[in-house]
Chains A and B, each alone.
Chain A
Amino acid sequence: MSDPQIEGLQLKPGFKGMSEDTGSDQTMFKGVHWGKAMMWIFLLSDTFVFSCFLISYMKGRGSTLVDWPYPSEVFALHVGGVSVPLLLIAIMTFVLITSSGTMALAVKYGYEKNRKMCGWLVLATALGGLTFVGMQAFEWTKLIEEGVRPWENPFGAAQFGSFFFMITGFHGTHVSIGVIFLFIYAYKVFAGHYENGGKRGWFTTMKGDYVEIEILGLYWHFVDLVWVFIFAFFYLW
């Protein structure tokens, strides 16, 4: 992206220039929309939430006396008589990462004011997210049928069930919230709320702008990134 154009201000090069610009008046991040800055800071805070969860998981896994179950067995699917480790989770991860790609394209088309393309891509992202949530529900069902519960686990340490359901549940809630908003925003894009100067939102005086798609995109990419960590910690460790 190119540097923002700000009347009466030349951004200066180098470290000193950067510190002068950040310390200058009015805004710290030049040309950055309020909502976008807000989303970044929210995500920073949310990063701490997930970090606390994952660090607790490490500590919990380290301090329990019972053996931890083997992920390659617990998370295997039986396809045509053979047990394929991590099959479902590979597909889930693939779907989610792909939806990050469609989201990024949606942002691009949004800024190009290509309403149709942007709308379809947001919708595609929403469907990708929905697929992910569906497959996660399937995985939960399978584990529950095999007897894994938040408080007990036939394959080993009870904490496995506790952390697994809590952390994937918390992440899944994030994905579900994202999916709901993706559907709402797909509707808003198609309905032209961001065209011709934008339509005012509900109870606010701010006008719609395609930057909202980018903000939603930030959230969506974050949720995907967190998934990569959860994937590594639960399925590969």
Chain B
Amino acid sequence: MSDEYDNNKSYQAQSSETMGGSAPASPDMDYVRPAETPDQELYHGHSFITKWVFCQDAKVIGVQYFLTAVFTGIVGLILSWLMRLQLGFPGAAGFMTAEHYYQFVTMHGMIMVVYFLTALFLGGFGNYLIPLMVGARDMVFPYVNMISFWMFFIAVAVLMASFFVPGGPTGAGWTLYPPQTILPGTPGAGMGILLMLVSLSLFVIGFTMGGLNYLITILQARTRGMTLMRMPLTVWGIFTATVLAMLAFPALLVSAIMMTLDKILGTSFFMPTILQAGEVLEYGGGSPILFQHLFWFFGHPEVYIVALPAFGIVSDLISVHSRKNIFGYRMMVWAIVGIGALSFFVWAHHMYVSGMNPWFGFFFATTTLIIAVPTAMKVYNWILTLWRGNIRLNTVMLWCLGFIVTFVNGGITGIFLGNVSVDVPLSDTYFVIAHFHMVMGIAPLMVIMGAVYHWFPLVSGKFLDEKLGKWHFWLTFLGAYSIYFPMHYLGFIGVPRRYFEMYDSPYMTSAVGMNEFISMAAFIVGAAQFILIYNIIRTLKVGKKAGQNPWKANSLEWLTSTVPPEHGNFGERLPVVHRWPYDFSVPGAKDDFITQTTPPSEVVHTEVEKT
């Protein structure tokens, strides 16, 4: 606790307070009230095991999450290669049967959505950035945080184990719809699906432990002066996504438990009366639609669990690299919160063809289209932030621009699919594949890439190579468009998704060339990702030193005592915050940035806003 500020009585850090533009400097104006809680004591590991394996430092845990998630991502990528090989050049992958194809589709989808993107954004970026950005020494419960990672690790191990059990992994599609999921005839209906369900349950349990940490750290462990409305949008995005996860994962957990019981105990929660090869099965009386509701009550918020951190991160990257404050900060915050809340009321737009009551469809179409409003506001605000900014067209900015374009593209097709009458003919076609890959596959991936290039100098102290970065970006961006743009057309002519081969169905004769082209692009895009891995290895060896605050950013993670930050983050004293992180290019200031810790008395002669 600091004493030099304690002598003062009245001033409290409040985000909405105004102080009058050009008041003369006085020591009073720098007052921030003292800390409410004593400094957090940390458990410092000493052995290799406690420092790097069972580590309680959120930054190490973040990197562990990141690497594990990237590993699963590479598995998902290889599976997509195999699928594209089959689709573009049927029979070229000699060993591949239709069963294999279903298994690859399923594992690819589940891995990418849950084990790659969710774990990467919340576990990876969340752990690394939250304590640094809110000015905390660590997460509030470091021990629980460590367990959270190892739970995730076991979940991944169980998932990967399903590749090696008899019958292989489940091939039911990532949506795991019963009754077919657990019936013979579906690949992996034995051990495969069980391991998948167990793995998902473990993931939820592990995530809950991490999620509680993220939430309480943000709510109760911010540093002095860090009001809610001074938090970087990254923190807002991760925060809201974590709230969504805490409320949406229960539905996944419950449906996983119920399906496990259907599978091993022979209950019929989701199983109707079924005739198989002329025989009535033991099952009967359950409701497959119930599973769909539970799954999508999780599944739709899940989309935003991936998207909201991406929104937050990209806002910060755009602001820093166009040297302008984010346009409409408060609007951005409320849009994130609003999208998060609305995302719980739209789930059945994934079920338009399930035979539900048309009035239901009408309701869910309406709520779905309402979400477009805050989402569009965010897009406008990103563009207005760029407008007349001092844009640095570096790799980070390229990824951000790529994100905006891709996201708008995917968002527009989302409006198509949100309307029942348009969705019904497009449902289960490649149009859907194109839509969700654009909006929740490629767009968040672009943000991840931008974030990696942006924060790598913090994590390692060295700049990633710009030239390789630009190659990486352009190959990925143009390649991704080559993959997914033609898929919209394939959807329009009616090519169904989740098909192993189209044989000589009429619409395929015209689309053979297109499929070959898409597959070639997919190979190139996938391979281009290894440029990043090469870049990282090379940078760690011979990269350019970055030093403190290399991007001239304002937020606290760049203001640590050492680069890379040590355990405890901020050295002797925690930083004291006086403003939001977006004071760029303030007229009258000597630099084009004013860090969050700069006290008001140092910037009285500038036109800085009171935040």
Bound together, the chains give a CA A170 to CA B168 distance in angstroms of: 30
A62-70, A90-98, A126-134, A215-223: which lies at the interface: A62-70
Render B178-217 as a binary contact track against A, CB cut-off 8 A, 1 for contact: 0000000000000000000000000000001001100110
Contact A28/B228 with A8-B33, A45-B246, A60-B287 known, Cβ cut-off 8 Å:
yes
B12 pairs with A56, CB closer than 8 A: no
Bound together, the chains give a CA A42 to CA B208 distance in angstroms of: 8
Smallest CB-CB separation from A33: which chain B residue?
B220
B290 pairs with A25, CB closer than 8 A: no
B residues in contact with A24, CB < 8 Å: 12-15, 227-228
B131 contacts the other chain (CB 8 A)? no
CB distance from B280 to the nearest CB of A (A): 14
A205 pairs with B12, CB closer than 8 A: no
B residues in contact with A6, CB < 8 Å: 36
A residues in contact with B266, CB < 8 Å: 150-151
Chain A stretch 3-50: residues in CB contact (< 8 A) with chain B: 6-9, 20, 22-32, 34-35, 37-38, 41-42, 44-46, 48-49
A159 pairs with B36, CB closer than 8 A: no
Render B213-241 as a binary contact track against A, CB cut-off 8 A, 1 for contact: 00110011111111111100000000000
B250 pairs with A27, CB closer than 8 A: no
Contact A37/B219 with A151-B265, A159-B268 known, Cβ cut-off 8 Å:
yes
B456 contacts the other chain (CB 8 A)? no
CB distance from B262 to the nearest CB of A (A): 9
Contact A25/B32 with A41-B216, A44-B247, A60-B286 known, Cβ cut-off 8 Å:
yes
Contact A56/B294 with A29-B219, A151-B265 known, Cβ cut-off 8 Å:
yes
Chain A stretch 58-95: residues in CB contact (< 8 A) with chain B: 59-60, 63-66
Bound together, the chains give a CA A162 to CA B297 distance in angstroms of: 22
Q: Which of B35, B230, B254, B282 contacts A52 (CB 8 A)?
A: B254
Render A171-204 as a binary contact track against B, CB cut-off 8 A, 1 for contact: 0000000000000000000000000000000011
A27 pairs with B36, CB closer than 8 A: yes
A52 pairs with B294, CB closer than 8 A: yes
B224 pairs with A25, CB closer than 8 A: yes
Q: Which of A20, A37, A162 has most B Cβ within 10 Å?
A: A162
Chain A interface mostly helix, strand, loop or mixed?
Answer: helix
B585 contacts the other chain (CB 8 A)? no
Contact A166/B258 with A56-B290, A56-B294, A158-B285 known, Cβ cut-off 8 Å:
yes
CB distance from A161 to the nearest CB of B (A): 8
Chain A stretch 94-110: residues in CB contact (< 8 A) with chain B: none
Chain B interface mostly helix, strand, loop or mixed?
Answer: loop
- Interface size for B (C-beta < 8 A) is 63
B141 pairs with A34, CB closer than 8 A: yes
Bound together, the chains give a CA A55 to CA B150 distance in angstroms of: 32
B43 pairs with A204, CB closer than 8 A: yes
Q: Which of A35, A41, A44 has most B Cβ within 10 Å?
A: A41
B173 contacts the other chain (CB 8 A)? no
Smallest CB-CB separation from A4: which chain B residue?
B36
Q: Which of B36, B230, B282 contacts A151 (CB 8 A)?
A: B282
B284 contacts the other chain (CB 8 A)? yes
CB distance from B55 to the nearest CB of A (A): 12
A64 pairs with B285, CB closer than 8 A: yes
B216 pairs with A37, CB closer than 8 A: yes
CB distance from B44 to the nearest CB of A (A): 9
CB distance from B368 to the nearest CB of A (A): 22
A135 contacts the other chain (CB 8 A)? no
B611 contacts the other chain (CB 8 A)? no
Chain B stretch 251-283: residues in CB contact (< 8 A) with chain A: 251, 253-255, 257-258, 261, 265-269, 282
Could you jot down 5 A-B contacts, CB within 8 Å? A25-B32, A25-B577, A41-B215, A53-B254, A56-B290
Given A6-B36, A42-B212, 13 more contacts at CB 8 Å? A8-B9, A20-B16, A26-B36, A26-B222, A37-B219, A38-B215, A38-B216, A48-B247, A52-B255, A63-B290, A150-B267, A159-B267, A163-B269
Residue numbers of A with Cβ under 8 A of B are 6-9, 20, 22-32, 34-35, 37-38, 41-42, 44-46, 48-49, 51-53, 56, 59-60, 63-66, 150-151, 157-159, 161-163, 166, 170, 203-206
Q: Which 5 A-B pairs have the closest CB atoms?
A: A8-B33, A48-B250, A162-B267, A52-B254, A64-B285
Residue numbers of B with Cβ under 8 A of A are 6, 9, 12-16, 32-37, 41-43, 140-143, 208, 211-212, 215-216, 219-230, 246-247, 249-251, 253-255, 257-258, 261, 265-269, 282, 284-287, 290, 293-294, 297, 577
